[in-house]
Amino acid sequence: MSESQAKPRLAFITNKLIMRAFDMAKASSISGNADGTNGENQSYTVQGRGTVCRSQLVREVNNGLHQGVHTVEVNGVEYVRANPNGSRSDNID
């Protein structure tokens, strides 16, 4: 197998493994890091994974890889938020 043939297969396998690792993360396992200049979340901590940048987590949420969360747009920037359920304990601040 040539190198050019191996790269797409490796990318597919890597993406499949990453998708499995992300699957089923719940709002309660995600917390905002408030690491932006004005306290906004430029990254999030996902239990079992560590720190994930905002844009990556937004992509994952928009692709349906996390339960109980959605994205919101504030001043043209998307952020991850927990779905409303009446409980403050699982809010992503």
In the predicted structure, residue 75 carries a pLDDT above the cut 90:
yes
93 within a domain of the structure (yes/no) = no
88 within a domain of the structure (yes/no) = no
> Domain containing 52: what range?
3-82
55 within a domain of the structure (yes/no) = yes
DSSP string, 30-85: EEE---STTS--SEEEETTTEEEEHHHHHHHHHTT-EESEEEEEETTEEEEEEPP-
90 within a domain of the structure (yes/no) = no
pLDDT in tens, 8-50: 555 555 555 555 554 556 667 899 999 999 999 999 999 999 9
65 within a domain of the structure (yes/no) = yes
What is the tally of structural domains in the chain?
1
Sign of the torsion angle spanned by Cα atoms 68, 73, 74, 76: positive
In the chain, % of residues over pLDDT 90: 53
**What pLDDT is recorded for position 19?**
52
75 within a domain of the structure (yes/no) = yes
In the chain, % of residues over pLDDT 70: 65
pLDDT averaged over the chain?
80
27 within a domain of the structure (yes/no) = yes
Query: How confident is residue 80, by pLDDT bands cut at 50, 70 and 90?
Result: very high
**What pLDDT is recorded for position 92?**
72
pTM (two decimals): 0.69
Partners of 31 in the β-ladder: 45
91 within a domain of the structure (yes/no) = no
Distance CA(29)–CA(55), nearest Å, equals 18
CA distances in angstroms from 65 to 2, 22, 36, 49, 69, listed in the order given:
33, 6, 24, 14, 10
Cβ proximity of 71 and 82 under 8 Å: no
